[in-house]
């Protein structure tokens, strides 16, 4: 006797203009099951999900939903079958309020002629309460931060009763605290009989909540099993995903006693951060962490002149330049910044991958008359693109055709090719698979070691900071609460220090 299958996919094929995304994929889900779907960037996870949700038609294969076979399915039918998806790119409507967004799917599915705006707001508030977040239901989505947007995307899926909830990397922008709450909700849903497909690159999360796991590689199912029968270790999962073994290295830094490359003194931005002072030498990798709203992103943006600070000063190479007032000034001092909102702000999605990769250095290839040296430029394109391996890479295709994680890699490549003196990275590996993560870490370490770049890494992943940095600052309500050399601390200590913050 077996449980009822909510989704059953057999021998599924799907390709995009010659790029094979699914290559004979098999996948099935039972009622009330939490199944994790893992695999490298570009292995076809989002594609599989979009087929289930009716957004993409499939080329070949069998698709059964609630034991009914579909030759083709559209999003409305999929929603009617009780399938809700939290998409990797959130798919929110910027021109609507939080409440309108949260209730959008039910509004459409309800097929009523008139909508009841009071009711919509009330239901939205209930859903927000359910996951314990305080976001103004009347705020317009375009004014929200990335993590708030992700929370709204989650709320929207929860607002609708569903049988199968699909979460495509739902935690990329969330803090530890919010992730914990989300995982609790997933467990509650399971108790109510809802099945969950959970896609994530954070293997700790995956191992914590799943009943079963599907590992994909190059559009195929390479491992399928229940964790109750056999628990996979992290290393085993990585091995299935990539076919390779990875080892952990720690970054060592020896000061040469030079003047610090960057000194920040009493930096303050009203309502965001206060009295921030730190310094960083050539070749150092400094981590900055803290919970959401502690001012870490605002600090990074202030240092790049996006939203300048109100007071304080910055010294570069010992020279006082006051406040960094705008982005041009930051670039002039060879500062580069990779924002956290890469999926929505960092790239020109319709332009080609190669053009995106070199866009920051285009100026170097221009002659006095503004014409471009095509040959040198195309060499630079090849060089830049070879720094990281990207699945499904056809340099002339638009960036939009890449998987979410691979788009992020392109954004990084774009900034790395400028050879900055000071590099500020805001959550550089969120949503990137383990293999690529270690590649990115290698590149950053090399940049610091070989070129003497001073790197500031903002991250909420303590493990990443331990791996990548030689020093760490913990921020708390806009101030620096703690500074530690990585060599003198442990992961447990840092996590405890972070957790302490939450209660105060």
Residues binding ligand ATP (CB under 6 A): 16, 19, 21, 39, 41-47, 88, 391-392, 401-406, 433
3-state SS class at 75:
helix
CA distance 251 to 449: 9
Q: Does 119 bind another protein (CB under 8 A)?
A: no
Piece of the chain touching another protein by CB under 8 A; list 17-25, 202-210, 294-302, 359-367: 294-302
Given the complex with another protein, which of 142 and 382 has the nearer CB atom? 142
Tell me, rounded to whole angstroms, the distance of Cα 32 from its chain centroid: 27
To Mg ion, the closest distance from the beta carbon of 168 in angstroms equals 6
Q: Which is nearer to ligand ATP, 50 or 441 (CB)?
A: 50
13, 16, 18, 19 alpha-carbon torsion, rounded to 10° = -80
Q: Does 478 bind another protein (CB under 8 A)?
A: yes
Which of 4, 57, 60, 110 forms a contact with another protein (CB under 8 A)? 110
CB of 225 to ligand ATP, least distance (A): 20
Residue 172 in the binding site for Mg ion (CB under 5 A) = no
Binds another protein (CB under 8 A): choice among 33, 169, 205, 298: 298
> Does residue 42 interact with Mg ion by CB under 5 A?
no
The pair of three-digit structure tokens given for residue 93, joined into one six-digit string: 């409507």
By a kind-dependent CB cut-off of 5 to 8 A, residue 55 interacts, out of ligand ATP, Mg ion, another protein, none, with: another protein
Q: What DSSP state is assigned to residue 314?
A: E
Among 293, 308, 398, 452, binds another protein (CB under 8 A): 293
Tell me if 346 contacts Mg ion by CB under 5 A.
no
**Judged by CB, which is closer to Mg ion: 422, or 440?**
440
Distance CA 227, CA 210 (A): 7
Phi, psi of 176 (to 5 degrees): -50, -45
Q: Closest distance between another protein and the C-beta of residue 23, in Å?
A: 24
- Minimum gap (Å) between residue 327 Cβ and another protein: 13
Positive or negative, the CA dihedral 411, 54, 18, 21 is: positive
446 backbone dihedrals φ, ψ, rounded to 5°: -60, -45
Rounded Cα distance, 217 and 38, in Å: 9
Minimum distance between the CB of residue 19 and ligand ATP, rounded to whole angstroms? 5
State which residue, 45 or 421, has the beta carbon closest to ligand ATP. Answer: 45
Give the x-and-dash track for 354-373 against another protein (CB under 8 A): --------------------
Token pair 């959008």 in the structure block, residue = 104
Q: Give the dihedral sign, CA 321/269/301/464.
A: positive
Q: Is position 214 an interface residue for Mg ion (rule: CB under 5 A)?
A: no
Contacted entry of another protein, Mg ion, ligand ATP, none for residue 16, CB cut-off 5 to 8 Å set by kind: ligand ATP
Q: How far apart are CA 268 and CA 478, in angstroms?
A: 9
> At a CB cut-off of 8 Å and minimum separation 6, what does 161 contact?
82
Give the number of other CB atoms < 10 A from CB of residue 293: 15
Q: Does 46 bind Mg ion (CB under 5 A)?
A: yes
The answer to whether 266 and 311 are in contact (CB under 8 A) is yes
How far apart are CB 499 and ligand ATP at their closest, in Å? 29
* Residue from 231, 250, 259, 307 in contact with another protein (CB under 8 A): 307
Cβ atoms within 10 A of the Cβ of 497, count?
A: 19
Q: How far apart are CA 452 and CA 447, in angstroms?
A: 7
**Which of the residues 80 through 109 are near Mg ion (CB under 5 A)?**
88
- Both tokens of residue 316? 């570069």
Q: Report CA 225 to chain centroid distance, whole Å.
A: 27
CB of 41 to ligand ATP, least distance (A): 3
Can you tell me whether residue 455 is helix, strand or coil? strand
- Other CB atoms within 10 Å distance of the CB of residue 501: 17
Binding range to another protein, per CB under 8 A, among 92-100, 209-217, 405-413, 434-442: 92-100
Nearest to 301 by CA among 334, 269, 333, 258: 269
With binding defined as CB under 8 A, does residue 231 bind another protein? no
Indicate the residue among 87 and 267 with the shorter CB distance to ligand ATP.
87
Question: What is the size of the binding site for Mg ion (CB under 5 A)?
Answer: 4
Cα(455)–Cα(472) distance, integer angstroms: 12
Q: Give the integer Cα–Cα distance in Å for 16 and 8.
A: 22
By CB under 8 A, name the binding residues for another protein: 53, 55, 74-76, 78-79, 85, 87, 91-96, 100, 104-105, 107-115, 117, 134-135, 140, 142-143, 145, 147-148, 175, 271-273, 291-293, 295, 297-298, 301, 306-307, 477-478
Which stretches of the chain bind Mg ion, using CB under 5 A? 46, 88, 403-404
């Amino acid at each position: 006797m077996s449980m009822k299958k909510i989704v059953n996919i057999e021998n599924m094929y799907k390709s995009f203009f010659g790029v094979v995304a699914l290559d004979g994929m098999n996948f099935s889900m039972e009622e009330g099951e939490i199944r994790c779907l893992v695999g490298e960037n570009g292995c076809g996870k989002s594609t599989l999900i979009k087929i289930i949700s009716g957004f993409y038609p499939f080329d070949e294969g069998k698709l059964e939903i609630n034991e009914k076979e579909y030759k083709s399915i559209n999003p409305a039918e999929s929603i009617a079958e009780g399938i809700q998806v939290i998409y990797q790119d959130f798919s929110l409507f910027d021109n609507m309020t939080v409440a309108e967004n949260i209730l959008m799917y039910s509004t459409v599915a309800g097929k009523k002629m008139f909508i009841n705006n009071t009711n919509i707001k009330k239901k939205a508030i209930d859903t927000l309460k359910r996951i314990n977040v305080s976001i103004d239901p009347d705020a317009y989505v375009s004014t929200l931060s990335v993590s708030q947007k992700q929370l709204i995307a989650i709320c929207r899926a929860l607002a609708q009763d569903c049988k199968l909830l699909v979460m495509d990397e739902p935690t990329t922008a969330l803090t530890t605290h919010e992730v914990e709450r989300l995982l609790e909700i997933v467990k509650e849903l399971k108790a109510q009989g809802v099945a969950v497909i959970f896609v994530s690159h954070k293997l700790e999360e995956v191992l914590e909540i799943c009943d079963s796991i599907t590992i994909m590689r190059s559009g195929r199912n390479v491992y399928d099993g229940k964790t109750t029968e056999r628990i996979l270790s992290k290393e085993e999962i990585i091995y299935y995903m990539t076919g390779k073994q990875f080892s952990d290295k720690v970054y060592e830094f020896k000061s040469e006693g030079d003047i610090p490359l960057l000194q920040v003194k009493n930096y303050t931005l009203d309502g965001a951060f206060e009295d921030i002072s730190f310094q960083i030498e050539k070749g150092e990798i400094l981590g900055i962490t803290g919970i959401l709203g502690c001012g870490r992103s605002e600090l990074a943006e202030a240092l790049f002149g996006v939203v300048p600070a109100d007071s304080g000063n910055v010294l570069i190479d010992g020279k006082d330049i006051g406040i960094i007032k705008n982005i041009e000034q930051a670039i002039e001092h060879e500062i580069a910044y990779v924002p956290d909102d890469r999926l929505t702000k960092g790239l020109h999605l319709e332009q080609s991958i190669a053009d995106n990769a070199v866009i920051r250095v285009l100026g170097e290839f221009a002659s006095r008359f503004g014409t471009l040296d095509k040959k040198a430029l195309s060499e630079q394109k090849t060089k830049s693109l070879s720094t990281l391996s990207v699945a499904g890479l056809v340099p002339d295709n638009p960036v939009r055709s890449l998987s979410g994680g691979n788009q992020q890699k392109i954004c990084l490549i774009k900034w790395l090719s400028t050879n900055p003196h000071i590099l500020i990275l805001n959550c550089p590996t969120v949503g990137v698979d383990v293999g690529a993560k270690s590649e990115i870490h290698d590149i950053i370490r090399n940049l610091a070691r070989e070129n003497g770049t001073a790197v500031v890494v903002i991250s909420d992943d303590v493990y990443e900071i331990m791996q990548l940095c030689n020093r760490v600052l913990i921020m708390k309500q806009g101030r620096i609460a703690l500074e530690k050399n990585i060599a003198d601390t442990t992961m447990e200590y840092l996590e405890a220090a972070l957790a302490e913050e939450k209660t105060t």
